[in-house]
């Protein structure tokens, strides 16, 4: 992992004890949610692709701690943790992974396409780089309408090699869009290391030719992430100044649940999980400062276990989307000569051999 | 009723919609200071200012994506892509994002976006500047694709597109910009998306077409009238949704059909229409459906080769004669 600067400010000046405890709870919730999602995938409750946030909890919780309700978030397809940390209950998120009507996208999106209108969580997108211009567009709209807030364009390190990223940097700077390019740099785009894919491995520098400021942060340090986002967020909102945040973290597992991770040395992965586990680090920090004790940590673990189990139960007990609703969300403005619920039912019957 | 050009109809409509709704804005390359590569946006920067008429850098993927993201937050961008050839570098944003966002997120958000662009080839623009890709977008569920042939429809469909909450691909044609037609003044009409129109009544054969080929079909119909052949012209106006009932109703009446489009023959729009006709009007057909489309080459520059590669009035007349062979009209 790349080196980042340390900060020397006393802990309780940086956050209240309640805030610190809440960050810990959120990180553990994401950890347990993802571990159980991995299990549910193996049990075939979850289909398609399933990318977990394991190891990236501090990056996510730190980011969300710095945002306000006015802000908007666009992410890539590794986004379960983001929508939960933004405030959506785990139940509807797990239900979406299960493809249920009660899921956050009505079962139409799945793991890679979570969305929540109420919290301005503007979607997970699964074409690398696709969400980046969209986020700039949302920031453009905020500026056009004179509204407060900023937009987060979350992406992985591999996204910094695609053209859409560069067009987005140019347009964001040119049009003074309040957007933060938030790179979760876990060192690998699938199986390709940052060094193998990027002629400039210091990803925070990649805005230089667009005059977009960039900064690297330890993505395993929840407070460091929160503070850099807060600072650059304020400037983006006040001055329409976009920025790159290069949050360095360690991916605990393969690219997705089905990736056996053969391209990384198993010993280095084992060591990485020990060295760069943001939750273990944070627990040690809280214990060392006598902010929590072992009993409190155990209580949080039990609470999280229960909440994730409730999410799984909710998903299991939720109804599937109805066949007659197959075409329900085709258009926002209905037009003639489009397929109907009856067409859907007829096609599904034939598909099921009922003729 | 005043007679104006297709270009003027578009220009008037853009101005009226900018005036009507503060969330409408225009974006595109050279649409402001330069006043539009084909002068469709002429005068609009001066009238509405740079907030509403936005000159973009040459970055179609970027600014189309920006327009989609802005639409998700309630703006109603009308994007100009200089010609449809350049839309290919933005196709990820259109096909993987704009078309799917409403559905994929369970109806929680919509994308009220219009992308205007001229399609087809005229004037020796050669291989990369003469293509027709409307079928690529018409193929894609979640998009709406319209292609007006007359100034009246251009105005009515552009209004409908801008006021629609879904992404609409609005197909124009370089060869149509200077064509003229009647357009009512002080009349807030819209032409509904998804509805074709019988532009000319006839009894012997149905010609199905859209955009510039509808103009060709109407000229041919007039010429053939003098030979005693009565041609009905169905102008699709919308490619998605496709108004299959209007096509089928016409073919059931005439029992013969010719489909003409400017795109390449294989897998093109004519294939979809011909398939629709055989599915839904097979028993009414007195002859195989004839298809007229572009020859399948990267369009050559040389003047005569170029012209010979695109469908025209002669190729339509030939196809009409083929489909009428053996009838009392044509022995």
- Helical ranges in A240-277 per DSSP H: 266-275
Q: Do B96 and A127 touch (CB under 8 A)?
A: yes
Residue A2 has pLDDT above 60, yes or no: no
Total residue count of chain B as it appears in this document: 331
Cα of A263 vs its chain's centroid, Å: 24
Cα of B330 vs its chain's centroid, Å: 32
- Distance from C-alpha of B260 to C-alpha of B316, rounded to nearest angstrom: 7
Residue owning tokens 């709209």: A141
Closest Cβ–Cβ partner in B68, B92, B241 for A137:
B68
User: Mutating which of A48, A72, A131, A133 best tests the B interface, going by the most B Cβ atoms within 10 A?
Assistant: A133
- A99-149 residue pLDDT tens: 999 999 999 999 999 999 999 999 999 999 999 999 999 999 999 999 999
- Distance from C-alpha of B203 to C-alpha of B149, rounded to nearest angstrom: 22
Q: How far is B24 from chain A (nearest CA, A)?
A: 11
Please name which of A194, A189, A196 lies closest in space to residue A204, comparing C-alpha atoms.
A194
Task: Identify whether B90 is preceded by a cis peptide bond (ω within 30 of 0).
Answer: no
- Banded model confidence at residue A5, pLDDT cuts 50, 70, 90: low
- Banded model confidence at residue A6, pLDDT cuts 50, 70, 90: low
CB contact at 8 A, A215 and A204:
yes
Distance (Å) of CA B120 to CA A57, B215, B238: 51, 14, 16
Distance (Å) of CA A293 to CA A14, A31, A297, A300: 20, 20, 6, 11
At residue A143, the 3 state secondary structure works out as helix
Total residue count of chain A as it appears in this document: 355
For chain A, domains (ranges, CATH) are 11-321 (3.40.50.970), 323-355 (no CATH)
Q: What's chain B's average pLDDT? A: 97
State phi, psi for A353 to the nearest 5 degrees.
75, 15
The domain B3-182 having CATH identifier 3.30.499.10: the answer here is no
Residue range(s) in chain B whose domain bears CATH number 3.40.50.920: 197-324
Residues 6+ apart with CB under 8 A from B275: none
Among residues of chain A, what percentage have pLDDT more than 70? 98
- B244-258 residue pLDDT tens: 999 999 999 999 999
Return the exposure string of A272-286: e unless at least 16 CB atoms fall within 10 Å of the residue's CB, then b.
bbeebbbbebbbebb
Residue A3 has pLDDT above 70, yes or no: no
Q: How far is B104 from chain A (nearest CA, A)?
A: 5
Q: Do B244 and A140 touch (CB under 8 A)?
A: no
Strands (DSSP E) contained in A119-173 are 121-124, 151-156
User: Mutating which of B32, B60, B65 best tests the A interface, going by the most A Cβ atoms within 10 A?
Assistant: B65
- Banded model confidence at residue A272, pLDDT cuts 50, 70, 90: confident
Mean pLDDT of B23-45: 97
Identify the helix (H) or strand (E) that includes residue A192.
strand A192-193
Can B129 be counted among the known catalytic residues?
A: yes
Mean pLDDT of B10-14: 98
DSSP conformation letters of B14-26: HHHHHHH-TTEEE
At residue A62, the 3 state secondary structure works out as helix
pLDDT value, residue B136: 98
Closest Cβ–Cβ partner in A134, A333, A336 for B165:
A333
Cα Rg for chain B, rounded, in angstroms? 20
pLDDT value, residue A1: 59
At residue B308, the 3 state secondary structure works out as helix
CB contact at 8 A, B174 and B149:
no
- Distance from C-alpha of A236 to C-alpha of A107, rounded to nearest angstrom: 35
Q: How far is A121 from chain B (nearest CA, A)?
A: 11
Q: How far is B169 from chain A (nearest CA, A)?
A: 14
* Cβ count near B163 (within 10 Å): 18
- Distance from C-alpha of A303 to C-alpha of B223, rounded to nearest angstrom: 82
Report the chain A residue with the minimal C-alpha distance to residue B57: A171
Residue owning tokens 């990180």: A27
- B289-310 residue pLDDT tens: 999 999 999 999 999 999 999 9
Identify the helix (H) or strand (E) that includes residue A184.
strand A179-185
Catalytic residue among B60, B80, B172, B272: B60
pLDDT value, residue B245: 98
Judging contacts by C-beta atoms under 8 Å, the chain A residues touching residue B164 are 333, 335
Q: How far is A114 from chain B (nearest CA, A)?
A: 7
Judging contacts by C-beta atoms under 8 Å, the chain B residues touching residue A74 are 69
Judging contacts by C-beta atoms under 8 Å, the chain B residues touching residue A115 are 104-106, 108-109
Distance (Å) of CA A275 to CA A268, A269, A297: 10, 10, 20
Q: Do A130 and B97 touch (CB under 8 A)?
A: yes
Judging contacts by C-beta atoms under 8 Å, the chain A residues touching residue B56 are 171
B287: its two tokens: 């002859």
Residue owning tokens 């997705």: A256
A114: its two tokens: 């979570």
Closest Cβ–Cβ partner in B63, B92, B144 for A130:
B92
Class of domain B197-324: alpha beta
Please name which of A192, A231, A184, A195 lies closest in space to residue A59, comparing C-alpha atoms.
A184
- Banded model confidence at residue B329, pLDDT cuts 50, 70, 90: low
Counted across chains A and B, CB pairs separated by less than 8 A come out at: 168
């Amino acid at each position: 992992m790349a080196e980042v600067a340390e900060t020397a400010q006393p802990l309780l000046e940086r956050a209240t004890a309640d805030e610190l405890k809440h960050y810990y709870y959120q990180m553990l919730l994401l950890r347990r949610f993802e571990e159980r999602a991995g299990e549910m995938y193996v049990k075939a409750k979850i289909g398609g692709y399933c990318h977990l946030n394991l190891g990236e909890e501090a990056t996510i919780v730190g980011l969300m701690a710095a945002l306000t309700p006015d802000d908007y978030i666009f992410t890539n397809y590794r986004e379960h943790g983001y929508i939960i940390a933004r405030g959506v209950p785990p139940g509807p998120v797990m239900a979406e992974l299960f493809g249920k009507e009660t899921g956050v996208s009505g079962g139409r999106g799945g793991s890679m396409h979570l969305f929540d209108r109420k919290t301005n969580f503007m979607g997970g997108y699964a074409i690398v780089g696709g969400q980046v211009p969209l986020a700039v567009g949302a920031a453009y709209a905020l500026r056009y309408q004179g509204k407060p807030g900023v937009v987060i364009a979350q992406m992985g390190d591999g996204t910094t090699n695609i053209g859409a990223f560069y067009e987005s940097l140019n347009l964001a700077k040119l049009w003074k869009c309040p957007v933060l390019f938030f790179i979760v740099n876990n060192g690998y785009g699938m199986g390709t290391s940052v060094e193998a894919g990027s002629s400039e491995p210091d990803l925070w520098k990649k805005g230089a030719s667009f005059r977009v400021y960039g900064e690297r942060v330890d993505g395993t340090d929840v407070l460091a992430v929160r503070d850099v986002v807060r600072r650059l967020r304020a400037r983006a909102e006040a001055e329409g100044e976009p920025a790159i945040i290069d949050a360095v973290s360690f991916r605990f597992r393969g690219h997705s649940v089905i990736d056996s991770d053969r391209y990384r040395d198993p010993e280095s992965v084992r060591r990485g999980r020990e060295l760069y586990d943001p939750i273990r680090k944070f627990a040690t920090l809280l214990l060392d400062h006598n902010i929590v004790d072992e009993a409190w940590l155990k209580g949080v673990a039990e609470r999280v276990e229960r909440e994730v189990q409730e999410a799984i139960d909710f998903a299991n007990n939720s109804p599937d989307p109805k066949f007659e609703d197959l075409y329900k969300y085709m258009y926002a403005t209905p037009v003639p000569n489009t397929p109907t619920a009856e067409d859907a039912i007829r096609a599904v019957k034939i598909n099921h051999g009922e003729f | 009723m005043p007679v104006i050009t297709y270009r003027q109809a578009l220009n008037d409509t853009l101005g009226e919609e900018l005036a009507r709704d503060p969330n409408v804005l225009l974006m595109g390359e050279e649409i402001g200071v330069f006043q539009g590569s084909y002068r469709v946006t002429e005068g609009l920067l001066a009238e509405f200012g740079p907030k509403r008429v936005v000159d973009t850098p040459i970055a179609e993927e970027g600014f189309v994506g920006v327009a989609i993201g802005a639409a998700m937050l309630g703006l109603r961008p009308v994007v100009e892509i200089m010609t449809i050839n350049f839309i290919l570098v933005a196709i990820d944003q259109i096909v993987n994002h704009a078309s799917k966002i409403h559905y994929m997120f369970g109806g929680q958000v919509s994308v009220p976006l219009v992308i205007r662009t001229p399609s087809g080839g005229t004037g020796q623009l050669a291989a990369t500047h003469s293509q027709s890709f409307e079928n690529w977008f018409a193929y894609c569920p979640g998009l709406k694709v319209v292609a007006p042939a007359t100034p009246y429809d251009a105005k009515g469909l552009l209004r409908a597109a801008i006021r629609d909450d879904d992404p609409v691909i609005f197909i124009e044609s370089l060869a149509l910009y200077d064509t003229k037609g009647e357009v009512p003044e002080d009349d807030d009409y819209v032409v509904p998306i998804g509805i074709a129109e019988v532009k000319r009544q006839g009894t012997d054969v149905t010609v199905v077409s859209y955009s510039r080929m509808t103009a060709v079909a109407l000229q041919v119909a007039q010429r053939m009238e003098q030979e005693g052949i009565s041609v009905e012209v169905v102008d699709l106006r919308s490619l998605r949704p496709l108004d299959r009932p209007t096509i089928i109703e016409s073919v059931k009446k005439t029992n013969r059909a010719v489909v003409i489009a400017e795109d390449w023959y294989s897998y093109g729009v004519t294939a979809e229409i011909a398939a629709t006709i055989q599915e839904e009007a097979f028993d009414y057909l007195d002859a195989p459906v004839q298809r007229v489309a572009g020859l399948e080459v990267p369009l050559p520059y040389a003047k005569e080769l170029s012209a010979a590669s695109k469908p025209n009035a002669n190729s339509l007349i030939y196809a009409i004669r083929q489909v009428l062979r053996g009838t009392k009209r044509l022995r």
